[in-house]
Structure 1
């Protein structure tokens, strides 16, 4: 299985990189190790080899090569970069991000093992109670469903080449990632009504999203709340540093 680390840029000055005093977020160091190095190490320890890095930054590309990773030129956005990587690397393809600083090999192995065998694409999510218990005070974006509030964990599995059909939908979801109800609206009036009534489960919503793209999609629950913590803002970086300092 190949693995892909997304290390592109949304353009402009990244507030976390600026806060840390580096040119790119992936190059932020914690304990003498860049965020990119931490993620690549977790993937290698999980047995996901080879690992590729999608980036348009020369310094990040140099760091990726130093880590023994293949470098792919990033596209116009995360979904487009994944689409090109899937075409280049094939399936199955595990996808994560360079700012997933707390990523652990066991989370990756567990995610792959828990993905249904008939799924074309799977996404890892963590319940809000687990996230807040693991890191009190953290602020994340949650999807509210009948079976709880869920946060994405920046870990995806494109298990088959059919998963390419879901990437077009991914582009649309990117636009509304901070407004969950708009994502649900794409499922049709019945699903939206169930969502507004608090009766739509996460699993059913993901299955429906997959059906719109003619793929089998699955939501996998993470037993680790910290799996939902990435470095999206300066306070996240401080929190991650605190967690790693506690670990010693």
Structure 2
């Protein structure tokens, strides 16, 4: 598709001190270093380097911090990037943004701690979500544990697998506001799967309890209830659901980045080192 997507990067701060920010000695978590770079640098570059993304909006309460930091000052200087003030909740901030000017559809939303976000993930998500009113990316438990058995996530259990969020959301039209308004009602319980399911109605809750409902079918059914096309995108890469949510996650992410750098810089058969390898900034 052409460069028509507005990417939104959630870079807000918690009301209480974040353990990762405290451990790193920085004011806000997105500035915490991961393998020598602020964590926000990784998803921001991945989004801006993707051909489908036309612009990037960073939702944060402290845009001044990013402009002042030499490692993230490029965000404030890039004409495709703009900062918007975030509110107290994700859903309310998104609704306010959608009501404003200069924000067109489709919207792709992700988080500043999605350090491992890459071109392959975005290719799959944009390709499968394009045309939907709303889409959500998830990773099935077997996909993750086959690569990273030590990783611990929050799982929703359904007949078609156990699923964990990949911090990628697609809002393709104005109709998506109906679901975001519901999200606003339950976002304080976003880690408590049962309360979220209950908000979608007793059928979803009972179906999940009895494991007679597939998540794919459930999302489609929720979409029909709201009069829109809703899709699940089952991500192929296990890394899609590994974000820097906890201090121990950062260690795993740095190991993954280190392994990728080693693979990309290892000698090829019959020649010298590969060119263009590693995870160094592309700008």
Shared fold per TM-score greater than 0.5: yes
Maintained 8 Å contact 1:8/1:74: yes
Maintained 8 Å contact 1:86/1:93: no
Maintained 8 Å contact 1:184/1:205: no
| TM superposition outliers: structure 1 runs of 4+ over 4 Å | none
The alignment yields a C-alpha RMSD, in angstroms, of 1.7
Distance 1:28 1:205 in 2: 37
Task: Name stretches of at least 5 consecutive residues in structure 2 with no aligned partner.
Answer: 262-283
2:116 to 93, 102, 105: 102
Q: Are 1:74 and 2:78 an aligned pair?
A: no
1:159 shift after superposition: 0.9
Distance 1:85 1:60 in 2: 20
Distance 1:172 1:80 in 2: 9
Q: 1:80 to 1:187 in 2, by over 3 A?
A: closer
Instruction: Name which of structure 1's ranges 62-71 and 227-236 shifts more when overlaid on structure 2.
Output: 62-71
Aligned residues: 247
Distance 1:36 1:97 in 2: 8
Q: 1:107 to 1:56 in 2, by over 3 A?
A: same
TM-score, length basis structure 2: 0.82
Q: Are 1:46 and 2:50 an aligned pair?
A: yes
1:92 shift after superposition: 0.6
Equivalent residue runs for 1:1-248 within 5 Å: 1-47=5-51, 48-57=53-62, 58-60=64-66, 62=68, 63=72, 64-66=75-77, 68=79, 69-88=81-100, 89-115=103-129, 117=131, 119-248=132-261
Which of 1 and 2 has greater Rg? 2
Which digits, 9 at most, give the CA deviation of each residue in 1:145-203, with x for residues without a partner? 11000011000111112111211111234222222122222233333222211111101
Distance 2:169 2:222 in 1: 15
Secondary structure in structure 2 of the residue aligned to 1:49: strand
**Partner of residue 273, structure 2:** none
1:210 shift after superposition: 2.9
